[in-house]
Amino acid sequence: MSIRASVYRLCRKRACLARLLIAAIILFPFAFLLMLSFGRRWAYPALLPGEWTLGNWLSILGAQAGLGESLALSLALSTGIAAVSTATSFWVSRQVAGHRHRRHWLLLAYLPYVFAPVVLAACLQYFFIRAGLSGKVWGIALAQLFITFPYGVIFFTSFWTERMLALGQLIATLGGSTWQAYARVLLPVAKGALMTCFFQLFLISWFEYGLTTLIGVGKVQTLTLKVFQYVNEANTFFAALASCLLVLPPVVLLWLNKQYVFSRID
């Protein structure tokens, strides 16, 4: 028994060390970026920055760096696009799921993903310039709908099974209106799918670079564009700060997804 107990303890210690090592490897890039966001004056061959300050983070509140405006713009843009795309794609996906030419409509939904976002933006740029939407926030929002809305339609097609479609027909047979069917039955049942789709569409819009760069022609400074701007300027500390801000909402959404979506599935 003593030999088995010692072997068991040794295995547990090794498993614990392995988990700590994996966690350290995963968290190291985030910790390194966070460290750089507090630094200044990092001269070669010093291992660490020569000065530590909160000034970089306090600059978010100022207008000089523009990080506060970019953060607010990105949050508003991604939240609005995710909400609109989730709501509209949920309704449209039901119509597609019940259509006799369902496969053809789904094929159209996949077409925007045949091209890279930059190529898609180059194809659309002429029309946005003629419509006067180039370089404007509303133009960016409309351009991102070209990749978020089809994704929502594709995502929700797996939700509209024959059982769900039959449930909608049963509500209509019993005298329920379309509003009652959505408000009292379909939306409560699809709550988990709606939240998951919203999170994913938010992340697609949040990290979008190609469409935003070409359609926005550099005038719409989202947080993603700020990161690349600081990297191109070799502004290490502000690039790290912008990267920390860029990573924060996905981490929060991941936590919310785990707490309120997967917990209900379990």
Q: What is the DSSP string of 40-106?
A: E---TT-SS-SEE-SHHHHGGGSSSS-HHHHHHHHHHHHHHHHHHHHHHHHHHHHHHHTSTTHHHHH
% of the chain exceeding 90 in pLDDT: 17
pLDDT surpasses 70 at 220:
yes
Q: Is the pLDDT of residue 8 over 80?
A: no
- pLDDT tens-digit map of 24-51: 888 888 888 888 888 887 777 777 777 7
pLDDT band at 3 (very low <50, low <70, confident <90, very high): low
What's the CA gap between 155 and 159, in Å, rounded?
8
CB atoms within 10 A of CB 214: 21
| Chain centre to alpha carbon of residue 139 | 19
**Quick one: what percent of the chain has pLDDT higher than 70?**
92
Taking the C-alpha atoms of residue 59 and residue 69, their distance in angstroms, rounded to an integer, is 11
Integer Cα distance of 24 and 205 in angstroms: 29
Phi, psi of 39 (to 5 degrees): -100, 165
pLDDT reading at 263 higher than 60: no
pTM metric for this prediction: 0.83
Query: If we measure between CA atoms, which residue out of 45, 101, 71 comes closest to residue 225?
Result: 71
Q: CATH topology for 62-265?
A: MetI-like fold (1.10.3720)
What integer pLDDT is reported at residue 2 of this predicted model? Answer: 62
